[in-house]
Amino acid sequence: MVRRDVVVRAATPFEADSPPVRAALGRAIMPAPAPALLDQLFLELRCRCLDLGAALDRIERADDAETAVADPRWEGISEALRILHRPGRDRAEQIQLLFSDEYDAGWRQSRAPRNGSH
């Protein structure tokens, strides 16, 4: 898995990708400064924003858009966008919780066995 919150410093990108260099730097990886992360992630984030905008436009332009906009899932998406707009360091966690079911401590007991398995 590639960590996007770190900058690996090596002579060339090829050297930074080599296993020996990664192993040596693994012990001394430094978190990237915010401007470097923005440089690295900007195009990907812009693309995701465009994709999201296009998807929302398609829904709102489609027939019977009023029904879709009244759907609780639409409100969840709207709330997720509000969360993204707020400053903070736990937006991903907040969005995950927004779209998650409440924990059910008895979930194992409430699951019916299938095909005789336990």
What pLDDT shows up at residue 10?
A: 46
Task: Work out whether strand 30-31 and strand 6-7 pair parallel, antiparallel, or are unpaired.
Answer: antiparallel
Q: Where are the domains of the chain?
A: 1-32, 33-62, 71-101
Could you give the count of Cα atoms lying within 13 Å of 16 in the half-sphere of its Cβ?
Answer: 11
pLDDT, tens only, 28-72: 678 899 999 999 999 999 999 999 999 999 999 999 999 999 999
The reply to whether the predicted model has a pTM over 0.85 is no
Query: How far is residue 52 from each of residues 4, 45, 68, 73, measured CA to CA in Å?
Result: 22, 11, 16, 15
